[in-house]
Amino acid sequence: MTGIDIRNCKFAYRCNQRWEHLEPVVGRSDLRYCTRCSERVHLVDSEARFAELARQGRCVAVLSAWGAATVGVPDGHFDGVD
């Protein structure tokens, strides 16, 4: 998966966990499990998916263009998608 550019991306909480260190979920390349928080972390591949998960209050990982991932809970008031 390549990095995506999400406009107006705001996080209510940024986690210091790294996507590559989270526990993989069998059969789901877009989902990992954080044993520290006991939460599922969703790897987003589009701005629309980010907005959907933000509205649901889900923890996400967003890959940047250079491959680093920001992990956290998006601000539920994300307005990047009309």
Q: What's this model's pTM, rounded to 2 decimal places?
A: 0.77
C-alpha closest to that of 59 among 26, 27, 30, 28: 30
pLDDT per residue as tens digits for the range 15-74: 888 888 999 999 999 999 999 989 999 998 888 888 888 888 899 988 766 566 777 777
Give the model's confidence band at 76: pLDDT under 50 very low, under 70 low, under 90 confident, else very high: low
Q: Does residue 7 contact residue 77 with C-beta atoms inside 8 Å?
A: no
C-alpha closest to that of 22 among 9, 37, 12: 37
Per DSSP, what are the bridge partners of residue 67? none
- Name the least confident of 10-14, 29-33, 51-55, 75-79: 75-79
CA count, 13 A, side-chain hemisphere, 37: 19
3-state secondary structure of 19: helix
Give the model's confidence band at 5: pLDDT under 50 very low, under 70 low, under 90 confident, else very high: low
